[in-house]
A and B are shown apart, each in its own frame.
Chain A
């Protein structure tokens, strides 16, 4: 798989100046057009949203939203994670997800979750590799795709053990 040559993969933040790159990606990766709130969340999430560059070409992204739970703690919701078709299998998705998992652990965020359509086995096994587990099933989550059900996939992260 892949090029067999070292091609650099780098991450960059999302700002109002390059927001269009994310919009372009989403318009081909997902069958949905995201609303203003999505992009406002993206800009507010800071380091938790990243574009991935494959030798200076923008080919993928991860977009998260920070949610406050009752009691004041914060959890991360992955809104989108995607890589352009020709560039899959090169470790770019892994790089993106690892980046966010690292951030969570550094900032002592204990919970990260997302929704996956129940028949999407590739995705489920992808997330399982990173220690995610199915924690809930929501019936009739989707209105216009089949199956309409989704899983909530969650990973609980232990806070880094303070060295004694």
Chain B
């Protein structure tokens, strides 16, 4: 390095490198300038100066200098390496890999460059390259532990686990017998466990077990040792030994559900579906009774039998399980038991049981059959449970009665308010739900959970401004809203994106959805540091698990929601692009003069307000900027806070395509993915891609109403195309002709209308299916509109929608809302929509959407909003004192 320079400058050059490594950038810059004074064209110095400037946030100069340096000295590996580092710092890994490769061409044995390259290859999953680089590193420095391990890991990642085992064994061969020294025991033990996991992965179970036992004394993580041993024994079908070991593990942790499951497998009493014969149930019952005697403190051992028991035994077990928890006051009891509600009969048993407890508590103050009195709080928790029970069973009026009774009994328990809020949400009253959640929040201002729950409810009620203000209460002061993003608070971004979408604010919605997408990019990015860290620390099992997790990261539900939300925004934007300003002016011109003036005034006021807000914000930003002077990453003001720029794009469907690809790659099992793909491609007139989406839909769920819609719409659209003229068009027609018979719905040359009728006949009891069929009638033959609407209106009142037991009614409310929207948007029939609304208002009295008679927007109109504002920061305001208040203090004694 710096070889072409005279000694004095060569020393200076070394100083630059050293200063860069020790982050003394100013010093390095000085040295660089000193060399450049004499040798202004020295490439490596120019490059190093660029790299130094890059760390001082002078990106543009950095790139210019590094490129200039490279131009002056194309044969220098330093220049190429620096160029690679620069790209790497900007996360441009593909470019960086190219640069490193060029550097290695000049200096093939440069360890540092090889190591950097290997990290990038791991990050980009260039696995063949990764193996090569790792091999070179090992050949160059075989005495380095990390190089052996890295080489093995590279083979494992490249799907050659057995080769990885060989490498690790060869590595072990290089070690002395007394290895490892005391301070490396953990690392070595991890390596051994990793090797054993590889053996297991390759199916060498016997060998894995043998190796495990042989190396027992060298493995520090004793728990993992036992778990691996037990799992190998089960896999080898050595069940008796396995059983013994799982019993040992249970003494160590009697609340680990997995141990119980494995133990059941060992004794031959396990079924994946949870279905057992009565004989098996008896045996399981006996097993868990004996376990319960041993592990008296375990709650798992008491809870698990409720899953498999039935009939009277279930009732007894549930009774024994519930009583002490109600006495103790465990607010999560209902969530604990709620999986049982999927088995229809158990919900009835629980209902009878807890109602019995309630009755007895009210009459005697104790449980049935017991003379002992319960503490007063037992009744409270019993009512609390019942409220959630009836909520789950969609009997919202009973649920509300129970929770209100509980609130009268003890009005200070926060969970009561949270649950009441939840009931109201399920019943369709989002406004009241938000107000209740806010009340809960005010009762403990230091509780982040109730705060977050309140934010969520506010967003569900589309009170975005309140929600934002409330959320910010728990962020670091000063940083405010940005902080939520830094904390990767995705549920908030998703919920607020969805709220904006409902309100038609596509720009803001899009902005939120894309922020979530960005978090996932960051998470992918975050693995970078671990490629070197994990090899050094030998946490290899965790490392591999992390890489596999990263590979399917984008399959995560939050990403799916965000991507789907973004795509919806683009589609909606494409369907109804915003009006240009001239169009707006035209509309304005049509208004009478007085109204026009009012509107203008309004606009002007709004503008002034916005300007003022922006000023305040930038001032704040400046102030915080000053306080943090010297620190890097001074917060920049968001140039597009409302996402307006995000919408000013040429081709929204192409943008949507980006996210669609990720969904198709990682979430192909979801109907929604292909529905969106269908919608996008139909708009793009990509007939074959739409067909592909349709085929996926039919494959995933042919009976789904949306699938049906897509099918009919697709073939209807195809039929209306003009005769093919170009070769490409003929090709498409050919494919369509060949594909059409593969759809069983259209067999026997059925017309679309006939297919629609068949579909309706098959699902005429389901509201959503009826609505889909009606919509398709209208789509195929618009003159049959009245008939189609009649079809919807004639749907049976208590028609059962799909969905699991209990949540039926809630999903039914959603379905009814969806149908109302169809009546408004597709049929554009105000009268029918109004009739539907009135019908639903009767059925769902709490629904704010249908303005039912019991919903808060009707009963209290503006009051809830006022209460809301008053409650904003800390509490409900009480009526102003009349001066005599204190005199009534003495009334307190009435309460003793």
Contact check, B885 vs A34: say whether CB atoms are below 8 A apart. Answer: yes
Q: Do B410 and A84 touch across chains, with their CB atoms under 8 A apart?
A: yes
B895 at the interface (CB under 8 A from A): yes
B885 surroundings in chain A (CB, below 8 A): 32-35, 38
Is A107 an interface residue when CB atoms closer than 8 A count as contact?
no
Minimum CB–CB distance from A68 to chain B (whole Å) comes to 17
How near does chain B come to A22, taking the closest CB pair, in angstroms? Answer: 9
Residues from chain B with a CB closer than 8 A to the CB of A114 are 889-890, 892
How many angstroms between the C-alpha atoms of A116 and B348 in the bound complex? 51
* CB-based contact A86/B329 at 8 Å: no
A49 CB → nearest B CB, Å: 13
Establish whether residues B413 and A57, one from each chain, have CB atoms under 8 Å apart when the complex forms. Answer: yes
Q: In the complex, what residues of A have CB within 8 A of residue B874's CB? A: 16, 19-20
In the complex formed, the residue of B with least CB distance to A41 is B886
User: Are A126 and B893 in touch, CB under 8 angstroms?
Assistant: yes
| Residue numbers in B under 8 Å from A33 (CB-CB) | 878-879, 881, 885
Complex contact B329–A2 (CB within 8 A): no
Residue A18 is within 8 A (CB to CB) of chain B in the complex: yes
Chain B residues whose CB sits within 8 angstroms of the CB of A163 once the complex forms: none
B741 contacts the other chain (CB 8 A): no
Instruction: Tell whether A57 pairs with B410 under 8 Å between CB atoms, given A4-B372, A31-B891, A126-B893.
Output: yes
Residues of A within 8 A of B880 (CB): 35
Chain A contacts with B in 12-48, Cβ cutoff 8 A: 16-21, 23-25, 27-38
Q: Pick out which of these stretches binds chain A: B396-404, B442-450, B781-789, B803-811.
A: B442-450
Q: A79 and B329 in contact (CB under 8 A), knowing A2-B373, A24-B411, A35-B881?
A: no
Cα separation A35 to B886 with both chains bound (whole Å)? 9
Instruction: State whether the Cβ of A120 lies closer than 8 Å to any Cβ in chain B.
Output: yes
Whole-angstrom CA separation of A54 from B446 in the bound complex: 20
Choose from A23, A28, A59, A78 the contact partner of B878 (Cβ within 8 Å). A23
CA–CA, A16 and B894, complex, Å:
27
Q: Which of B26-34, B93-101, B374-382, B827-835 contacts A (4 or more CB under 8 A)?
A: B374-382
Q: Does B2 contact A (CB under 8 A)?
A: no
- Enumerate chain B residues within 8 angstroms of A145, measured Cβ to Cβ: 888, 891
- CA A92 – CA B891 in complex, angstroms? 18
Considering the complex, give the chain B residue whose CB is closest to the CB of A5. B375
Q: With A and B bound together, what is the CA distance between A7 and B876 in angstroms?
A: 32
Question: Is the Cβ of A27 less than 8 Å from the Cβ of B411?
Answer: yes
Contact across chains for B887 and A81 when beta carbons are under 8 A apart? no
B896 to A20, Cβ gap below 8 A? no
Contact A30 B445 (CB under 8 A): no
Residue B409, interface by CB 8 Å: yes
Is B875 among interface residues, defined by CB-CB distance under 8 A? yes
A56-94 contact mask (Cβ, 8 Å, vs B): 1 or 0: 111100000000000000000011111111111010010
Tell me whether B878 and A55 are in contact (CB under 8 A). no
B412 proximal to A (CB < 8 A): yes
Chain B residue nearest to A122 (CB atoms) is: B896
Q: Can you name the residue of chain B whose Cβ is closest to the Cβ of A56?
A: B329
For residue A88, give the distance in angstroms from its CB to the closest CB of chain B: 7
Partner of B377, one of A20, A34, A54, A88: A54
Which residues of chain B from 307 to 363 have a CB within 8 Å of any chain A CB? 327-329
B272 contacts chain A at the CB level, 8 A cutoff? no
**Chain A residues closer than 8 Å to B887, beta-carbon distance:** 115, 141-143, 150
Please give, as numbers and ranges, the residues of chain A lying within 8 Å of B379 by CB-CB distance. 86
Q: Is B884 an interface residue (CB 8 A)?
A: yes
Pair B329/A117 contact, Cβ less than 8 Å = no
A148 to chain B, nearest CB (A): 10
CB–CB B896/A83 < 8 A? yes
Shortest CB distance A78–B (Å): 8
In the bound complex, how far is the Cα of B888 from the Cα of A145, in angstroms? 9
A81 to chain B, nearest CB (A): 5
- Whether the Cβ atoms of B375 and A115 lie closer than 8 Å is no
Q: Report Cα–Cα, A82/B374, bound state, in Å.
A: 22
Inter-chain contact B894/A120, CB cutoff 8 Å? yes
Is there contact, CB below 8 Å, between B443 and A55?
no
Chain A residues with CB under 8 Å of B875's CB are 19-20, 23
Q: How far is the CA of A24 from the CA of B18 in the complex (A)?
A: 66
CA distance A115 to B756 in the complex (A): 80
Q: Which residues of B contact A56 (CB under 8 A)?
A: 329
B410 touches A59 (CB 8 A): yes
Contacts of A90 in B (CB 8 A): 376
Return the contact of B445 from the options A17, A35, A78, A93 (Cβ within 8 A).
A17
B874 to chain A, nearest CB (A): 7
Mask, B518-555, CB within 8 Å of A = 1, is 00000000000000000000000000000000000000
CB–CB B444/A55 < 8 A: no
Residue A123 CB within 8 A of the other chain = yes
Q: How far is the CA of A81 from the CA of B889 in the complex (A)?
A: 9
* A23 to B875 Cα, complex, angstroms: 9
Q: Decide if A29 touches B444 in the complex (CB within 8 Å).
A: no
Say yes or no: A30-B412 contact (C-beta < 8 A), given A20-B444, A20-B875, A57-B329: no
Residues of chain B lying within 8 A (CB to CB) of residue A27: 411
Given contacts A58-B412, A120-B894, A21 and B443 within 8 Å (CB-CB) = yes
> Smallest CB-CB separation from A152: which chain B residue?
B890
What CA separation (Å) do A110 and B888 show in the bound complex?
25
Residue of A whose beta carbon sits closest to that of B408: A28
Chain A residue contacts of B881, Cβ below 8 A? 33-37
- Rounded to whole angstroms, the CA-CA distance of A84 and B328 in the bound complex is 19
- Give residues of chain B (750-790) contacting chain A, Cβ–Cβ below 8 Å: none
Cα-based distance from A83 to B412 in the complex (angstroms)? 12
A20 and B444 alpha carbons, distance in the complex (Å): 7
Within 858-880 of B, Cβ neighbours of A (below 8 Å) are at 874-876, 878-880
**Contact residue among A5, A25, A55, A124 (Cβ-Cβ distance under 8 Å from B412):** A25
Determine the distance from Cα of A21 to Cα of B374 in the docked complex, in whole angstroms.
25
Given contacts A20-B444, A81-B892, contact A57 B380 (CB under 8 A): yes
Asked if B375 and A81 make an inter-chain contact with CB atoms under 8 angstroms apart, the answer reads: no
Q: 0/1 per residue, A115-140, Cβ < 8 Å to B?
A: 11100101110100000000000000
Partner of A17, one of B329, B375, B444, B890: B444
Give the complex CA separation of A117 and B377 in angstroms: 30
> Once the chains bind, are B892 and A38 in contact (CB under 8 Å)?
no
Contact B896 A126 (CB under 8 A): yes
Cα of A5 to Cα of B377 in the assembled complex, Å: 13
- Name the interface residues of B376-391: CB closer than 8 Å to any CB of A: 376-377, 379-380
Instruction: Decide if A18 touches B377 in the complex (CB within 8 Å).
Output: no
A28 to B891 alpha-carbon distance, docked (Å): 12
Structural contact, B896 and A116, CB atoms closer than 8 A:
no
B444 pairs with A7, CB closer than 8 A: no
Known: A33-B879, A37-B881. A87 touches B376 (CB 8 A): yes
A61 to B379, CA, bound (A): 21
Please name the residue on chain B nearest to A28 by beta carbon.
B411
Residues of A contacting B373 in the complex (Cβ-Cβ under 8 angstroms): 2-4
Question: Which residue in B372, B879, B896 is a CB contact (below 8 Å) of A81?
Answer: B896
From the candidates A7, A38, A120, name the one contacting B893 in the complex (CB within 8 A): A120
**Chain A residues within 8 Å of B894, by CB:** 30, 117, 120, 123
Closest A residue to B441 by CB, please name it: A20
CB pair B412 A24 closer than 8 Å: yes
Chain B residues within an 8 Å CB radius of A20? 442-445, 874-876
CB-CB contacts below 8 Å: B641-671 with A = none
Inter-subunit contact B412/A117 (CB<8 Å) = no
Chain A residue with Cβ nearest B440 = A20
Bound state CA distance, A116 and B888, in angstroms? 9
Q: Is the pair A82, B412 in contact by a Cβ cutoff of 8 Å? A: no
A142 and B411: CB pair below 8 A? no
Do A3 and B890 contact each other (CB < 8 Å), given the known contacts A27-B411, A82-B895?
A: no
Name 14 interchain pairs, CB-CB below 8 A, sorted by A.
A3-B376, A4-B373, A16-B445, A18-B445, A23-B878, A28-B411, A29-B895, A31-B891, A32-B889, A35-B878, A83-B896, A93-B896, A120-B890, A145-B891
Other 4 A-B pairs with CB < 8 A, given A16-B445, A120-B894, A123-B896? A4-B373, A25-B412, A59-B412, A123-B893
The 8 closest A-B pairs by CB, nearest first: A123-B893, A35-B881, A115-B890, A82-B895, A3-B375, A86-B376, A58-B412, A33-B878
**B interface residues (Cβ-Cβ under 8 A, vs A):** 327-329, 372-377, 379-380, 408-413, 442-446, 874-876, 878-881, 884-896
